[in-house]
């Protein structure tokens, strides 16, 4: 047995999760999920089945009533939410989560909160992000709330990447974006996986796009697992079912 | 006939000279700076914790009493300026500490979601603290007004147009009392320091971040609970400092905070709930309007009693035109 936790095959694992917004009302009723390291795992399903709820529970914004969340093989149920970024777990929620009235630059810099005393690293990561998103450099003094939807997503992504998280939870990143921008966002996600080996858990309504880039797929149905499998198998099943 | 007409002419009409108006303006601005300071504290609490603190005036009251007691104890053993600085620091420290302890004990359970009706809970606990502090000080200090002596002197100089004695400053024909002048200047310094803190330091930005998106703050690693405690402590401290600089201007009783508190509410609503520039501008406006209103009101006897009404009139007018206040947004 290895002590190197970072080498577990699965970067993230959810076991038999029961969670909800009110006592005694579980939205998720025994969900299981495993995300293989360095792969993109997509979580699909109709509106309201509990995909966002699952990500909130993984990040700790919702306390599980039962079940466990493991990161690199370690149970993290009891780790406070604000400490999860230090474990290399990052979260981009479905609704826009920028600091609206702060400048773009301050938004991105706040992504480096956990290493705020390391000026040199802050500058380096900021610079990296400006190279990744040149438009953000141009608009760095503007309040982030004034940017377009696509650019606000870029601010979120840039802020998230400041700490080089190993596992990213991403909830419907392209909802409401223009077609061209959607493509860009998906390309960015695949790049993060292929170049930097990041583990990505992507929740999406854009089934077609998600299937194009995912390695493994889970389909949820009203708070429970419905199907899962490598993308190719799922696509074949779907084709059979819908003749698409 | 002439007598009836005369009745409507301000009794102190002969006093209304440009100098008089300038003095009213200056005094209004000075007191307005202190209002701004208090309102900034309330705004900070509102933006980060999402509650309106009903004990804000009592922190103001405590700040004043701490200065009064500190001066009593050390007036003769320390140099004058040092006593003054010590008194202010003591007031800030005590109010900050009370704020922090109260927030940890009573408001954290609400922030953790352990309370069923958070809005009612916040009102009741902060009101409870207000009454507790009022009766505590009534027990400790008695009901009779106290007034601290002025604890800083102006540097004495004579530069022709501007002359200063220990107790007053004369610019041209306008004379300002040292008490108010120094109170206003300290408030100005504190405001500048707070602005620097909020916009230029990491902790200040973390407070802003928490107020703008609590979840996103936690996502980047900021502990929102600590920000709640800090915001409440700082908010209490600003109110405490406002009281500390005014205890040598007004006389102090255990319920002196009630009016100060309602003024702060008026200012933050006027400025736009949760806006820093709003609370700064709102404080200055209320200060100036009160000062001009009181000074120019035809019947000087009633003018003092109407003091708080003038601010409310402006308040009502602004809200009629712009219901969100001057700057309706968060931090
Ligand atoms: N903040 C909330 N409070 C109460 N119920 C919620 C909340 N958010 C979502 N729900 C409920 O939880 C269920 C799952 O929602 P969600 O996880 O957002 O679905 P999805 O992301 O799959 O569209 C829905 O029935 C929704 O009504
Ligand atoms: Mg969703």
A83 and A195 co-located in one domain = yes
Q: Check residue B10 and give its pLDDT.
A: 55
Same domain, A218 and A154: no
Instruction: Provide, as residue numbers in chain A, all residues whose Cβ is less than 8 Å from the Cβ of B205.
Output: 102, 106, 110
CB contact under 8 A, B215 and A102: no
- Say whether both A69 and A173 belong to one domain: yes
Q: Are both A3 and A79 inside the same structural domain? A: yes
Q: State residue B2's pLDDT score.
A: 55
Q: Do B212 and A99 touch (CB under 8 A)?
A: yes
Q: For chain A, what is the domain count?
A: 2
Per-residue pLDDT, B77:
85
Helix (H) or strand (E) holding A43: strand A40-44
A48 Cα: distance to centroid of ligand 1 (angstroms): 6
For residue A48, count other CB atoms closer than 10 A to its CB: 11
Interface of B with A (CB under 8 A): 202, 205-206, 208-209, 212-213, 215-224, 329-331
What would the mean pLDDT of B182-193 be, rounded to a whole number? Answer: 96
- pLDDT reported for residue B85: 94
Please answer whether residues A96 and A175 qualify as being in contact, where contact means their C-beta atoms are separated by less than 8 angstroms: no
What is the least distance, in Å, from the CA of A224 to any CA of chain B?
A: 26
pLDDT tens, position by position, B34-90: 999 999 999 999 999 999 999 999 999 999 999 999 999 998 888 888 899 999 999
The whole domain housing A54 covers 1-88+167-177+186-244
- Name the pTM for this structure: 0.91
- The pLDDT tens digits of the residues spanning B140-174 come to 999 999 988 888 888 888 888 889 888 889 888 88
Same structural domain for residues A11 and A50? yes
Identify the pLDDT of residue A1: 42
CATH number of the domain within which A61 lies: 3.40.50.300
**What is the reported pLDDT for B50?**
94
Whether residues A23 and A118 share a domain: the answer is: no
- Mean pLDDT, consecutive 10-residue segments, chain A of 244 residues? 62 96 90 96 94 97 95 96 97 95 97 97 97 95 94 94 96 90 91 95 92 94 89 81 62
The shortest CB-CB distance from B221 to any of A59, A98, A114 is to A114
Enumerate residues lining ligand 1, CB below 6 A. Answer: A 21, 27, 45, 47-53
Say if CB B303 and CB B291 are below 8 A apart.
no
CA B44 to chain centre: 13
B152-156 contacts at long range (C-beta below 8 A, 24 or more positions apart): B152/B80, B152/B81, B152/B84, B152/B178, B152/B182, B153/B80, B153/B81, B153/B178, B154/B178, B154/B181, B154/B182
**Residue bearing tokens 């390291």:** A37
Cα B237 to Cα B240: distance, rounded to the nearest angstrom: 5
What's the pLDDT score for residue A198?
96
| pLDDT at residue B7 is higher than 70 | no
Question: Mutate which of A58, A90, A113 to test chain B, going by most B C-beta atoms within 10 A?
Answer: A113
Q: Which pLDDT belongs to residue A177? A: 87
A49: CA distance to ligand 2 center in Å? 8
A113 contacts in chain B (CB < 8 Å): 202, 206, 220-222
Give the pLDDT confidence of B212-263 residue by residue, as tens digits. 999 999 999 999 999 999 999 999 999 999 999 999 999 999 999 999 999 9
Same-domain status, A57 and A173: yes
Q: Ion ligand 2 — residues with CB under 5 Å? A: A 52, 94
Q: In the prediction, which pLDDT does B155 show?
A: 87
Same domain assignment for residues A60 and A6:
yes
Q: What is the rounded distance in angstroms from the CA atom of residue A162 to the CA atom of residue A160?
A: 6
Size of interface A-B (CB pairs under 8 A): 62
Q: Which atom of ligand 1 is the closest one to the Cα of A51? A: 22
A 42-81: CB under 8 A from B: 59, 61, 80-81
Residue B295 has pLDDT above 70, yes or no: yes
Region of B2 on the Ramachandran plot (φ > 0 left; ψ -120 to 50 alpha; else beta): alpha
pLDDT in tens, B82-128: 899 999 999 999 999 999 999 999 999 999 888 989 889 999 999 99
- Judgement on whether residues A119 and A59 belong to the same structural domain of the protein: no
Nearest CA in chain A to B219: A82
> Do residues A71 and A120 both lie within one domain?
no
Domain ranges, ordered by start, for chain B: 31-256
Same domain assignment for residues A27 and A123:
no
Res B17: pLDDT: 83
Q: Which residue from B202, B224, B330 is facing A82, i.e. has the nearest CB?
A: B224
Cβ pair A97:B213 closer than 8 A: yes
Q: Are residues A62 and A172 in the same domain?
A: yes
Tell me if ipTM is over 0.85: yes
């Amino acid at each position: 047995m290895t002590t190197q936790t970072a080498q577990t095959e699965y970067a993230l694992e959810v076991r038999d999760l029961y969670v909800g917004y009110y006592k005694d009302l579980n939205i998720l009723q025994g969900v299981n999920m495993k995300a293989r390291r360095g792969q993109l795992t997509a979580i699909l399903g109709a509106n309201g089945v509990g995909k966002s709820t699952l990500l909130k529970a993984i990040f700790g914004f919702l306390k599980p009533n039962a079940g466990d969340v493991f990161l690199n093989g370690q149970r993290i149920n009891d780790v406070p939410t604000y400490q999860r970024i230090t474990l290399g777990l990052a979260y981009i929620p479905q609704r826009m989560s920028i600091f609206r009235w702060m400048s773009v630059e301050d938004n991105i810099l706040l992504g480096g909160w956990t290493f705020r005393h390391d000026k040199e690293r802050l500058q380096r990561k900021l610079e990296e992000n400006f190279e990744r998103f040149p438009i953000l450099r141009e608009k760095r003094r503007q309040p982030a709330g004034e940017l377009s939807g696509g650019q606000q997503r870029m601010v979120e992504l840039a802020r998230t990447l400041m700490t080089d998280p190993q596992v990213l939870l991403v909830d419907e990143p392209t909802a409401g974006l223009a077609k061209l921008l959607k493509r860009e966002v998906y390309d960015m996600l695949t790049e993060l996986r292929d170049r930097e080996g990041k583990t990505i858990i992507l929740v999406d309504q854009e089934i077609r796009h998600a299937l194009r880039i995912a390695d493994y797929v889970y389909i949820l149905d009203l708070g429970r697992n419905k199907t899962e499998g490598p993308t190719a198998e799922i696509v074949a099943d779907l084709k059979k079912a819908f003749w698409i | 006939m002439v007598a009836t007409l005369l009745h409507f002419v301000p009794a102190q009409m002969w006093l209304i000279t440009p100098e008089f108006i300038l003095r009213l303006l200056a005094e209004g601005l000075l007191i307005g700076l202190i209002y701004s300071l208090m309102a900034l504290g309330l705004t900070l609490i509102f933006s980060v914790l999402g509650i309106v603190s009903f004990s804000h005036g009592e922190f103001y009251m405590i700040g004043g009493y701490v200065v009064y007691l500190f001066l009593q104890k050390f007036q003769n053993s320390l140099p004058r300026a040092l006593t003054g600085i010590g008194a202010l620091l003591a007031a800030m420290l005590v109010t900050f500490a009370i704020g922090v302890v109260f927030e940890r004990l009573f408001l954290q359970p609400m922030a953790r979601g352990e309370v069923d009706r958070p809005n009612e809970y916040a009102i009741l606990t902060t009101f409870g603290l207000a009454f507790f502090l009022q009766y505590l000080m009534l027990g400790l200090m008695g009901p009779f007004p106290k007034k601290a002596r002025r604890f800083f002197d102006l540097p004495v100089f004579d530069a022709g147009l501007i002359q200063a004695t220990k107790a007053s400053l004369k610019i041209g024909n306008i004379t300002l009392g040292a008490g108010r002048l120094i109170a206003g200047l300290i408030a100005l310094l504190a405001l500048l320091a707070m602005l620097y803190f909020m916009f230029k330091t990491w902790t200040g930005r973390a407070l802003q971040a928490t107020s703008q998106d609590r979840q996103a703050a936690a996502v980047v690693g900021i502990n929102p609970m600590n920000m709640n405690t800090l915001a409440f402590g700082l908010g209490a401290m600003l109110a405490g400092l406002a009281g500390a600089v005014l205890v040598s201007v007004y006389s102090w009783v255990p319920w002196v905070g009630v009016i100060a508190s309602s003024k702060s509410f008026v200012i933050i609503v006027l400025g736009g709930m949760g806006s820093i520039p709003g609370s700064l501008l709102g404080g200055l406006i209320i200060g100036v309007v009160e000062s001009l209103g009181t000074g120019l009101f035809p019947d000087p006897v009633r003018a003092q009693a109407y003091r708080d009404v003038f601010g409310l009139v402006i308040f009502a007018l602004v809200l009629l035109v712009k219901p969100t206040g001057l700057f309706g947004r968060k931090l």
